[in-house]
Structure 1
Amino acid sequence: MNHAHPPRTIDVPPIRERTLQLLRPSVRAVMGRRWDVRLHGLEQVPAGPHIVASNHLGLMDGPLLAAYHPHAVHALTKQEMFHGVPGLVLRAAGQVSLDRWSADPGAIKACIRILRDGGVVGVYPEGGRGAGEFTQIRAGAAYLALVTGAPVVPLAVFGTRDPGGDTNSRPRRGAPIDFVYGAPVRIEPVAFPRTQEQIRRSTVFLHEALCAHLDAARALTGRELPGPLPTESPSATASTKEHIDD
Protein backbone atom coordinates (compact mmCIF):
# COMPACT_ATOMS: atom_id res chain seq x y z
CA MET A 1 0.00 0.00 0.00
CA ASN A 2 1.10 3.56 -0.69
CA HIS A 3 2.43 5.38 2.37
CA ALA A 4 2.04 8.71 0.54
CA HIS A 5 -1.76 8.49 0.48
CA PRO A 6 -3.58 10.50 3.17
CA PRO A 7 -3.11 10.08 6.01
CA ARG A 8 0.57 10.01 5.07
CA THR A 9 2.61 7.33 6.83
CA ILE A 10 5.79 7.60 4.81
CA ASP A 11 7.52 9.32 7.76
CA VAL A 12 6.11 6.97 10.42
CA PRO A 13 8.84 4.56 11.59
CA PRO A 14 7.99 0.92 10.84
CA ILE A 15 7.26 -1.18 13.91
CA ARG A 16 9.52 -4.21 14.24
CA GLU A 17 8.12 -7.56 15.27
CA ARG A 18 11.26 -9.68 15.66
CA THR A 19 11.15 -9.50 19.47
CA LEU A 20 7.45 -10.33 19.50
CA GLN A 21 8.01 -13.34 17.25
CA LEU A 22 10.81 -14.56 19.51
CA LEU A 23 8.73 -14.16 22.69
CA ARG A 24 5.48 -15.72 21.45
CA PRO A 25 6.38 -19.44 21.73
CA SER A 26 7.74 -19.21 25.29
CA VAL A 27 4.88 -17.01 26.50
CA ARG A 28 2.37 -19.37 24.89
CA ALA A 29 4.00 -22.33 26.64
CA VAL A 30 3.82 -20.62 30.05
CA MET A 31 0.20 -19.60 29.58
CA GLY A 32 -0.74 -23.05 28.30
CA ARG A 33 0.51 -24.59 31.53
CA ARG A 34 -1.55 -22.20 33.63
CA TRP A 35 -4.86 -22.08 31.69
CA ASP A 36 -6.83 -24.21 29.26
CA VAL A 37 -6.76 -21.93 26.22
CA ARG A 38 -9.11 -23.03 23.44
CA LEU A 39 -9.12 -21.41 19.99
CA HIS A 40 -12.16 -21.54 17.73
CA GLY A 41 -12.55 -20.38 14.12
CA LEU A 42 -8.88 -20.06 13.24
CA GLU A 43 -9.81 -20.79 9.63
CA GLN A 44 -11.49 -17.36 9.61
CA VAL A 45 -8.20 -15.52 10.17
CA PRO A 46 -6.74 -14.23 6.87
CA ALA A 47 -3.07 -14.54 6.02
CA GLY A 48 -2.67 -10.90 4.98
CA PRO A 49 -3.09 -7.60 6.81
CA HIS A 50 -6.13 -7.44 9.08
CA ILE A 51 -7.58 -5.79 12.15
CA VAL A 52 -8.55 -7.93 15.15
CA ALA A 53 -11.50 -6.34 16.99
CA SER A 54 -11.95 -8.00 20.38
CA ASN A 55 -14.12 -7.53 23.41
CA HIS A 56 -12.16 -6.59 26.52
CA LEU A 57 -12.73 -8.28 29.87
CA GLY A 58 -9.53 -8.07 31.84
CA LEU A 59 -5.78 -7.79 32.21
CA MET A 60 -4.86 -10.98 30.37
CA ASP A 61 -6.72 -10.25 27.12
CA GLY A 62 -3.76 -8.50 25.49
CA PRO A 63 -1.00 -10.94 26.48
CA LEU A 64 -3.13 -13.91 25.41
CA LEU A 65 -3.93 -12.29 22.07
CA ALA A 66 -0.25 -11.54 21.48
CA ALA A 67 0.72 -15.12 22.32
CA TYR A 68 -2.04 -17.12 20.65
CA HIS A 69 -3.15 -15.23 17.54
CA PRO A 70 -1.87 -17.02 14.41
CA HIS A 71 0.15 -13.94 13.44
CA ALA A 72 2.08 -11.33 15.38
CA VAL A 73 -0.38 -8.66 16.59
CA HIS A 74 0.45 -5.02 17.27
CA ALA A 75 -2.31 -3.95 19.66
CA LEU A 76 -3.38 -0.47 20.63
CA THR A 77 -2.50 -0.37 24.34
CA LYS A 78 -3.34 2.36 26.82
CA GLN A 79 -0.41 4.69 27.35
CA GLU A 80 -0.56 4.18 31.13
CA MET A 81 0.98 0.73 30.58
CA PHE A 82 4.12 2.17 28.97
CA HIS A 83 6.06 2.81 32.18
CA GLY A 84 8.89 0.93 33.85
CA VAL A 85 9.62 -2.68 32.91
CA PRO A 86 6.15 -3.33 31.38
CA GLY A 87 6.67 -0.35 29.09
CA LEU A 88 10.04 -1.64 27.93
CA VAL A 89 8.52 -5.03 27.15
CA LEU A 90 5.55 -3.52 25.31
CA ARG A 91 7.76 -1.31 23.17
CA ALA A 92 10.16 -4.15 22.39
CA ALA A 93 7.15 -6.30 21.40
CA GLY A 94 5.90 -3.67 18.97
CA GLN A 95 2.72 -2.69 20.80
CA VAL A 96 1.25 0.76 20.09
CA SER A 97 0.78 3.34 22.84
CA LEU A 98 -2.65 5.01 22.80
CA ASP A 99 -4.04 8.04 24.61
CA ARG A 100 -7.64 6.92 25.20
CA TRP A 101 -8.91 10.29 26.40
CA SER A 102 -7.90 12.65 23.61
CA ALA A 103 -7.06 12.61 19.93
CA ASP A 104 -3.99 10.49 19.22
CA PRO A 105 -3.18 10.73 15.50
CA GLY A 106 0.29 9.27 16.12
CA ALA A 107 -1.20 5.97 17.33
CA ILE A 108 -3.67 5.79 14.44
CA LYS A 109 -0.97 6.53 11.87
CA ALA A 110 1.26 3.86 13.45
CA CYS A 111 -1.56 1.34 12.96
CA ILE A 112 -2.12 2.44 9.37
CA ARG A 113 1.62 2.01 8.73
CA ILE A 114 1.47 -1.55 10.16
CA LEU A 115 -1.47 -2.48 7.94
CA ARG A 116 0.06 -0.91 4.84
CA ASP A 117 3.20 -2.95 5.55
CA GLY A 118 1.13 -6.15 5.67
CA GLY A 119 0.89 -6.54 9.45
CA VAL A 120 -1.88 -7.14 11.96
CA VAL A 121 -3.39 -4.57 14.33
CA GLY A 122 -5.32 -5.42 17.48
CA VAL A 123 -8.09 -3.08 18.66
CA TYR A 124 -10.35 -3.18 21.71
CA PRO A 125 -13.16 -1.04 20.33
CA GLU A 126 -14.99 -0.78 23.67
CA GLY A 127 -12.16 1.49 24.82
CA GLY A 128 -11.29 -0.32 28.04
CA ARG A 129 -11.82 -3.36 30.23
CA GLY A 130 -15.37 -4.09 31.28
CA ALA A 131 -18.30 -6.42 30.74
CA GLY A 132 -17.18 -7.24 27.20
CA GLU A 133 -20.67 -6.99 25.73
CA PHE A 134 -19.79 -4.59 22.88
CA THR A 135 -22.48 -2.28 24.30
CA GLN A 136 -20.73 0.71 22.76
CA ILE A 137 -17.71 0.91 20.51
CA ARG A 138 -15.38 3.60 19.34
CA ALA A 139 -14.73 4.34 15.69
CA GLY A 140 -11.03 3.45 15.48
CA ALA A 141 -11.34 -0.03 13.97
CA ALA A 142 -13.84 1.12 11.35
CA TYR A 143 -11.64 4.10 10.48
CA LEU A 144 -8.59 1.87 9.97
CA ALA A 145 -10.65 -0.34 7.65
CA LEU A 146 -11.95 2.68 5.71
CA VAL A 147 -8.41 3.92 5.13
CA THR A 148 -6.63 0.66 4.35
CA GLY A 149 -9.32 -1.75 3.17
CA ALA A 150 -8.03 -4.33 5.67
CA PRO A 151 -10.72 -6.76 6.86
CA VAL A 152 -11.83 -6.64 10.49
CA VAL A 153 -11.77 -10.03 12.24
CA PRO A 154 -14.24 -10.19 15.16
CA LEU A 155 -12.95 -11.89 18.30
CA ALA A 156 -15.09 -12.90 21.27
CA VAL A 157 -13.15 -13.75 24.43
CA PHE A 158 -14.51 -15.72 27.38
CA GLY A 159 -12.84 -16.64 30.67
CA THR A 160 -10.07 -14.07 31.03
CA ARG A 161 -11.78 -12.60 34.09
CA ASP A 162 -13.81 -14.53 36.66
CA PRO A 163 -17.21 -13.13 37.75
CA GLY A 164 -16.62 -10.51 40.43
CA GLY A 165 -12.96 -10.10 39.46
CA ASP A 166 -11.57 -6.58 39.30
CA THR A 167 -9.86 -4.92 36.36
CA ASN A 168 -6.42 -6.39 37.19
CA SER A 169 -7.53 -9.87 38.24
CA ARG A 170 -6.36 -13.04 36.51
CA PRO A 171 -8.44 -16.16 35.95
CA ARG A 172 -7.93 -19.01 38.41
CA ARG A 173 -5.32 -21.64 37.55
CA GLY A 174 -6.69 -24.23 35.15
CA ALA A 175 -9.59 -22.03 34.06
CA PRO A 176 -10.88 -22.54 30.51
CA ILE A 177 -10.34 -19.55 28.22
CA ASP A 178 -12.06 -19.41 24.85
CA PHE A 179 -11.04 -17.27 21.87
CA VAL A 180 -13.72 -17.37 19.16
CA TYR A 181 -12.88 -15.82 15.79
CA GLY A 182 -15.59 -14.80 13.35
CA ALA A 183 -15.83 -14.25 9.62
CA PRO A 184 -13.91 -11.15 8.50
CA VAL A 185 -16.00 -7.98 8.19
CA ARG A 186 -15.16 -6.06 5.05
CA ILE A 187 -15.63 -2.31 4.86
CA GLU A 188 -15.14 -0.76 1.45
CA PRO A 189 -12.15 1.61 1.58
CA VAL A 190 -12.89 5.26 0.94
CA ALA A 191 -10.40 7.65 -0.63
CA PHE A 192 -9.52 11.02 0.89
CA PRO A 193 -11.38 13.02 2.05
CA ARG A 194 -13.32 10.73 4.38
CA THR A 195 -16.29 12.26 6.15
CA GLN A 196 -17.48 11.84 9.71
CA GLU A 197 -20.74 10.44 8.32
CA GLN A 198 -18.85 7.72 6.45
CA ILE A 199 -16.97 6.87 9.63
CA ARG A 200 -20.19 6.83 11.64
CA ARG A 201 -21.97 4.52 9.20
CA SER A 202 -19.01 2.15 9.05
CA THR A 203 -18.83 2.08 12.86
CA VAL A 204 -22.53 1.23 13.12
CA PHE A 205 -22.08 -1.56 10.55
CA LEU A 206 -19.09 -2.97 12.43
CA HIS A 207 -20.87 -2.67 15.78
CA GLU A 208 -23.77 -4.76 14.50
CA ALA A 209 -21.36 -7.39 13.17
CA LEU A 210 -19.46 -7.58 16.47
CA CYS A 211 -22.66 -8.00 18.50
CA ALA A 212 -23.90 -10.71 16.14
CA HIS A 213 -20.58 -12.54 16.43
CA LEU A 214 -20.69 -12.36 20.22
CA ASP A 215 -24.13 -13.97 20.19
CA ALA A 216 -22.86 -16.71 17.87
CA ALA A 217 -19.81 -17.28 20.07
CA ARG A 218 -22.04 -17.68 23.13
CA ALA A 219 -24.07 -20.30 21.29
CA LEU A 220 -20.95 -22.13 20.11
CA THR A 221 -19.21 -22.30 23.48
CA GLY A 222 -22.17 -22.26 25.87
CA ARG A 223 -20.32 -19.63 27.86
CA GLU A 224 -21.30 -16.31 29.37
CA LEU A 225 -19.35 -13.16 30.11
CA PRO A 226 -18.37 -12.29 33.70
CA GLY A 227 -20.57 -9.20 34.03
CA PRO A 228 -19.44 -5.65 34.78
CA LEU A 229 -16.40 -4.79 36.82
CA PRO A 230 -17.10 -4.35 40.55
CA THR A 231 -16.40 -0.64 40.10
CA GLU A 232 -16.67 0.43 36.50
CA SER A 233 -14.14 2.99 35.32
CA PRO A 234 -15.57 6.13 33.72
CA SER A 235 -16.95 5.24 30.32
CA ALA A 236 -14.82 6.20 27.40
CA THR A 237 -15.98 9.15 25.40
CA ALA A 238 -18.14 8.17 22.46
CA SER A 239 -16.78 10.93 20.27
CA THR A 240 -13.92 10.04 17.99
CA LYS A 241 -11.26 12.41 16.73
CA GLU A 242 -9.44 9.88 14.57
CA HIS A 243 -10.37 11.63 11.32
CA ILE A 244 -6.77 12.50 10.50
CA ASP A 245 -6.60 12.64 6.72
CA ASP A 246 -4.00 15.42 6.81
Structure 2
Amino acid sequence: MTLRPHRAPSGGSLPGEPFAWTRGVGKLFAHGVWNSRVLGAENVPRTGPVLFAANHASIMDGPLLFGVTPRPAHFLVKSEMFTGSPLNRFVGWALLQAGQIPIDRTRGDRDALQSVLAVLAAGGAAGVFPEGTRGRGDAASVRSGIAWIALQSGAPVVPVACLGAHLPGEPRRSVPPVRRRLTFCFGEPFAVVKEPGVPGRVALAAAVEQVRVKLSGHVLDSLQRTGIQLPDDDAADELGLGEMASDDVPGGTR
Protein backbone atom coordinates (compact mmCIF):
# COMPACT_ATOMS: atom_id res chain seq x y z
CA MET A 1 0.00 0.00 0.00
CA THR A 2 1.58 3.30 -1.11
CA LEU A 3 0.42 6.51 0.55
CA ARG A 4 1.60 10.06 0.02
CA PRO A 5 3.30 11.45 3.15
CA HIS A 6 2.75 14.52 5.27
CA ARG A 7 0.00 16.43 3.54
CA ALA A 8 -3.68 16.99 4.10
CA PRO A 9 -5.48 14.93 1.44
CA SER A 10 -7.40 16.96 -1.11
CA GLY A 11 -9.98 15.98 -3.65
CA GLY A 12 -10.45 12.59 -2.04
CA SER A 13 -6.77 11.62 -2.34
CA LEU A 14 -4.88 9.22 -0.10
CA PRO A 15 -3.64 10.66 3.20
CA GLY A 16 -0.02 10.47 4.27
CA GLU A 17 1.20 7.13 5.57
CA PRO A 18 1.46 7.07 9.38
CA PHE A 19 5.08 7.34 10.46
CA ALA A 20 6.22 4.70 12.94
CA TRP A 21 7.05 7.34 15.54
CA THR A 22 3.44 8.53 15.58
CA ARG A 23 2.26 5.04 16.45
CA GLY A 24 4.94 5.00 19.13
CA VAL A 25 3.57 8.21 20.63
CA GLY A 26 0.06 6.77 20.56
CA LYS A 27 1.24 3.62 22.33
CA LEU A 28 3.12 5.72 24.89
CA PHE A 29 -0.05 7.62 25.72
CA ALA A 30 -2.14 4.44 25.81
CA HIS A 31 0.20 2.25 27.84
CA GLY A 32 2.59 4.69 29.51
CA VAL A 33 0.51 7.71 30.48
CA TRP A 34 -2.67 5.66 30.86
CA ASN A 35 -3.14 1.97 31.62
CA SER A 36 -4.90 0.65 28.52
CA ARG A 37 -5.91 -2.91 27.82
CA VAL A 38 -7.09 -4.27 24.49
CA LEU A 39 -9.71 -6.99 24.17
CA GLY A 40 -10.71 -8.74 20.96
CA ALA A 41 -7.68 -7.75 18.84
CA GLU A 42 -8.00 -11.13 17.12
CA ASN A 43 -11.26 -9.91 15.57
CA VAL A 44 -9.45 -7.37 13.38
CA PRO A 45 -8.58 -8.74 9.91
CA ARG A 46 -4.80 -8.79 9.50
CA THR A 47 -4.89 -7.84 5.84
CA GLY A 48 -7.27 -6.11 3.45
CA PRO A 49 -9.55 -3.16 4.07
CA VAL A 50 -11.17 -2.69 7.46
CA LEU A 51 -13.36 0.09 8.81
CA PHE A 52 -13.34 0.74 12.56
CA ALA A 53 -16.59 2.11 14.02
CA ALA A 54 -16.01 3.39 17.55
CA ASN A 55 -18.19 4.94 20.22
CA HIS A 56 -17.14 8.36 21.50
CA ALA A 57 -17.30 9.49 25.13
CA SER A 58 -13.95 11.22 25.78
CA ILE A 59 -11.67 13.77 24.15
CA MET A 60 -8.89 11.15 24.37
CA ASP A 61 -10.72 8.38 22.49
CA GLY A 62 -9.18 9.25 19.13
CA PRO A 63 -5.49 9.54 20.08
CA LEU A 64 -5.62 6.48 22.33
CA LEU A 65 -7.49 4.33 19.82
CA PHE A 66 -4.89 5.26 17.19
CA GLY A 67 -2.24 3.88 19.56
CA VAL A 68 -3.96 0.57 20.32
CA THR A 69 -5.47 -0.53 17.00
CA PRO A 70 -3.87 -3.80 15.88
CA ARG A 71 -3.15 -2.11 12.52
CA PRO A 72 -2.23 1.50 11.75
CA ALA A 73 -5.45 3.33 10.89
CA HIS A 74 -6.50 6.63 9.34
CA PHE A 75 -9.20 8.33 11.42
CA LEU A 76 -11.45 11.23 10.52
CA VAL A 77 -10.60 14.20 12.75
CA LYS A 78 -12.48 17.50 12.94
CA SER A 79 -10.78 20.19 10.83
CA GLU A 80 -10.60 22.60 13.78
CA MET A 81 -7.79 20.44 15.19
CA PHE A 82 -5.53 21.46 12.29
CA THR A 83 -5.83 25.25 12.36
CA GLY A 84 -5.95 28.23 14.71
CA SER A 85 -3.57 28.64 17.63
CA PRO A 86 0.10 27.60 17.45
CA LEU A 87 -0.74 24.60 19.64
CA ASN A 88 -3.54 23.57 17.30
CA ARG A 89 -1.28 23.93 14.28
CA PHE A 90 1.36 21.74 15.95
CA VAL A 91 -1.27 19.15 16.84
CA GLY A 92 -2.56 19.33 13.28
CA TRP A 93 0.94 18.78 11.90
CA ALA A 94 1.36 15.73 14.16
CA LEU A 95 -2.02 14.38 13.08
CA LEU A 96 -1.00 14.64 9.44
CA GLN A 97 2.23 12.76 10.20
CA ALA A 98 -0.04 10.11 11.73
CA GLY A 99 -2.05 9.92 8.50
CA GLN A 100 -5.24 11.34 9.95
CA ILE A 101 -7.89 12.91 7.72
CA PRO A 102 -9.37 16.38 8.44
CA ILE A 103 -13.13 16.61 8.02
CA ASP A 104 -15.22 19.78 7.86
CA ARG A 105 -17.98 19.01 10.32
CA THR A 106 -20.16 21.92 9.15
CA ARG A 107 -21.14 20.10 5.95
CA GLY A 108 -21.14 16.72 4.26
CA ASP A 109 -17.41 16.74 3.52
CA ARG A 110 -17.29 14.60 0.39
CA ASP A 111 -13.51 14.94 -0.03
CA ALA A 112 -12.80 13.60 3.46
CA LEU A 113 -15.10 10.63 2.97
CA GLN A 114 -13.59 9.95 -0.44
CA SER A 115 -10.13 9.90 1.21
CA VAL A 116 -11.39 7.21 3.56
CA LEU A 117 -12.62 5.27 0.53
CA ALA A 118 -9.17 5.66 -1.06
CA VAL A 119 -7.54 4.16 2.04
CA LEU A 120 -9.92 1.20 2.00
CA ALA A 121 -9.52 0.69 -1.75
CA ALA A 122 -5.76 0.44 -1.18
CA GLY A 123 -6.31 -2.32 1.40
CA GLY A 124 -5.77 -0.12 4.45
CA ALA A 125 -7.57 0.50 7.73
CA ALA A 126 -9.68 3.55 8.50
CA GLY A 127 -11.72 4.64 11.49
CA VAL A 128 -14.81 6.74 12.18
CA PHE A 129 -16.67 7.76 15.32
CA PRO A 130 -20.11 7.33 13.72
CA GLU A 131 -22.12 8.99 16.49
CA GLY A 132 -20.72 12.26 15.16
CA THR A 133 -20.66 13.67 18.69
CA ARG A 134 -18.82 13.12 21.93
CA GLY A 135 -21.39 12.22 24.56
CA ARG A 136 -22.29 9.18 26.65
CA GLY A 137 -20.61 6.84 24.20
CA ASP A 138 -23.51 4.41 24.03
CA ALA A 139 -23.81 4.69 20.22
CA ALA A 140 -27.53 5.44 20.49
CA SER A 141 -27.36 7.62 17.40
CA VAL A 142 -25.37 6.92 14.24
CA ARG A 143 -25.09 9.44 11.45
CA SER A 144 -25.00 8.32 7.85
CA GLY A 145 -21.34 8.99 6.94
CA ILE A 146 -19.98 5.63 8.05
CA ALA A 147 -22.91 3.77 6.50
CA TRP A 148 -22.21 5.49 3.19
CA ILE A 149 -18.51 4.58 3.44
CA ALA A 150 -19.33 0.95 4.27
CA LEU A 151 -21.78 0.67 1.37
CA GLN A 152 -19.40 2.28 -1.08
CA SER A 153 -16.30 0.30 -0.04
CA GLY A 154 -17.69 -3.09 0.91
CA ALA A 155 -15.07 -3.15 3.69
CA PRO A 156 -15.84 -5.19 6.81
CA VAL A 157 -16.82 -3.01 9.77
CA VAL A 158 -15.26 -3.72 13.16
CA PRO A 159 -17.15 -2.18 16.11
CA VAL A 160 -14.95 -0.73 18.86
CA ALA A 161 -15.98 0.12 22.42
CA CYS A 162 -13.79 2.79 24.05
CA LEU A 163 -14.44 2.57 27.78
CA GLY A 164 -13.19 4.09 31.02
CA ALA A 165 -11.84 7.48 29.94
CA HIS A 166 -15.00 9.35 30.91
CA LEU A 167 -16.98 8.14 33.90
CA PRO A 168 -20.23 9.30 35.53
CA GLY A 169 -19.92 12.63 37.34
CA GLU A 170 -16.81 13.80 35.47
CA PRO A 171 -16.80 16.92 33.27
CA ARG A 172 -17.37 15.76 29.71
CA ARG A 173 -14.32 17.57 28.29
CA SER A 174 -11.97 16.42 31.03
CA VAL A 175 -8.84 14.36 30.41
CA PRO A 176 -8.84 11.05 32.32
CA PRO A 177 -6.49 10.89 35.33
CA VAL A 178 -3.02 9.57 34.61
CA ARG A 179 -2.71 5.76 34.85
CA ARG A 180 -6.46 5.20 34.82
CA ARG A 181 -7.41 1.78 33.49
CA LEU A 182 -8.89 2.24 30.00
CA THR A 183 -10.34 -0.57 27.90
CA PHE A 184 -10.68 -0.90 24.13
CA CYS A 185 -12.86 -3.78 22.95
CA PHE A 186 -12.78 -4.84 19.29
CA GLY A 187 -15.85 -6.77 18.17
CA GLU A 188 -16.45 -9.23 15.37
CA PRO A 189 -16.48 -7.69 11.87
CA PHE A 190 -19.73 -7.41 9.99
CA ALA A 191 -20.67 -6.55 6.41
CA VAL A 192 -22.92 -3.71 5.26
CA VAL A 193 -24.41 -4.47 1.85
CA LYS A 194 -27.05 -3.02 -0.45
CA GLU A 195 -29.63 -5.51 -1.63
CA PRO A 196 -30.30 -5.50 -5.40
CA GLY A 197 -33.19 -3.28 -6.41
CA VAL A 198 -33.40 -1.43 -3.10
CA PRO A 199 -33.59 2.38 -3.54
CA GLY A 200 -30.57 4.31 -2.27
CA ARG A 201 -32.48 6.15 0.46
CA VAL A 202 -33.85 2.90 1.86
CA ALA A 203 -30.46 1.16 1.63
CA LEU A 204 -28.71 4.01 3.42
CA ALA A 205 -31.30 4.14 6.20
CA ALA A 206 -31.02 0.38 6.66
CA ALA A 207 -27.22 0.61 6.77
CA VAL A 208 -27.32 3.38 9.38
CA GLU A 209 -29.61 1.27 11.55
CA GLN A 210 -27.43 -1.81 11.09
CA VAL A 211 -24.32 0.06 12.21
CA ARG A 212 -26.20 1.60 15.15
CA VAL A 213 -27.52 -1.76 16.33
CA LYS A 214 -24.17 -3.53 15.91
CA LEU A 215 -22.13 -0.80 17.62
CA SER A 216 -24.56 -0.12 20.46
CA GLY A 217 -24.93 -3.86 21.07
CA HIS A 218 -21.17 -4.26 21.14
CA VAL A 219 -20.81 -1.35 23.59
CA LEU A 220 -23.47 -2.87 25.85
CA ASP A 221 -21.82 -6.29 25.74
CA SER A 222 -18.43 -4.72 26.48
CA LEU A 223 -19.84 -2.80 29.45
CA GLN A 224 -21.30 -5.98 30.87
CA ARG A 225 -18.04 -7.82 30.26
CA THR A 226 -15.85 -5.20 31.93
CA GLY A 227 -18.18 -3.72 34.55
CA ILE A 228 -17.33 -0.18 33.40
CA GLN A 229 -20.02 2.54 33.50
CA LEU A 230 -20.73 5.16 30.86
CA PRO A 231 -21.03 8.88 31.67
CA ASP A 232 -24.53 10.35 31.91
CA ASP A 233 -24.13 13.77 30.30
CA ASP A 234 -25.45 15.22 27.06
CA ALA A 235 -23.63 14.92 23.75
CA ALA A 236 -21.06 17.52 22.69
CA ASP A 237 -20.50 18.17 18.99
CA GLU A 238 -17.15 16.60 18.15
CA LEU A 239 -17.04 15.30 14.61
CA GLY A 240 -20.28 16.23 12.89
CA LEU A 241 -20.24 13.76 10.02
CA GLY A 242 -22.45 15.24 7.33
CA GLU A 243 -25.55 13.46 6.16
CA MET A 244 -24.93 11.93 2.73
CA ALA A 245 -27.51 12.08 -0.05
CA SER A 246 -29.25 8.80 -0.78
CA ASP A 247 -28.24 8.91 -4.43
CA ASP A 248 -24.61 8.61 -3.33
CA VAL A 249 -25.29 4.98 -2.48
CA PRO A 250 -24.05 2.64 -5.24
CA GLY A 251 -26.91 1.93 -7.57
CA GLY A 252 -29.25 3.99 -5.43
CA THR A 253 -31.84 6.55 -6.38
CA ARG A 254 -33.90 8.99 -4.44
**Under a length normalisation based on structure 1, what TM-score does the superposition of the two structures give?**
0.85
Structure 2: 5+ residue runs without aligned partners? 1-10, 84-88
1:29 counterpart residue number:
28
Match of 2:138 among 133, 145, 164: 133
172 and 242 in structure 1: CA distance in 2 versus 1, 3 angstrom threshold: farther
1:6 counterpart residue number:
none
76 and 234 in structure 1: CA distance in 2 versus 1, 3 angstrom threshold: closer
**Alpha-carbon distance in structure 2 between the residues aligned to 1:238 and 1:80:** 14
Partner AA of 1:133 in structure 2: D
The 5-angstrom pairing of residues 26-175 of structure 1 reads 26-47=25-46, 48-83=48-83, 84-175=89-180
**Alpha-carbon distance in structure 2 between the residues aligned to 1:91 and 1:80:** 13
Partner AA of 1:68 in structure 2: V
More displaced stretch, 107-116 vs 21-30: 21-30
Structure 2 SS opposite 1:16: coil
2:215 counterpart residue number:
210
CA RMSD between the two structures? 2.6
Deviation at 1:245, TM superposition (A): 6.3
Partner AA of 1:55 in structure 2: N
Partner AA of 1:184 in structure 2: P
238 and 175 in structure 1: CA distance in 2 versus 1, 3 angstrom threshold: closer
1:16 counterpart residue number:
16
More displaced stretch, 32-41 vs 109-118: 32-41
* 1:107-139 CA-partner distances (Å, limit 9, x unpaired): 110110010011111100110211101111101
* 1:199-237 CA-partner distances (Å, limit 9, x unpaired): 1111111111112111211121111112215xx436987
Q: Does 1:240 align with 2:239?
A: no
Partner AA of 1:105 in structure 2: R
58 and 37 in structure 1: CA distance in 2 versus 1, 3 angstrom threshold: same
Deviation at 1:29, TM superposition (A): 2.6
1:7 counterpart residue number:
none
**Count of aligned residue pairs for this structure pair:** 233
Deviation at 1:80, TM superposition (A): 1.1
8 Å contact kept, 2:145–2:241: no
* 1:77-105 CA-partner distances (Å, limit 9, x unpaired): 11111121111111222111112231210
Q: Does 1:186 align with 2:157?
A: no
Q: Does 1:228 align with 2:233?
A: yes
102 and 183 in structure 1: CA distance in 2 versus 1, 3 angstrom threshold: same
8 Å contact kept, 1:137–1:238: no
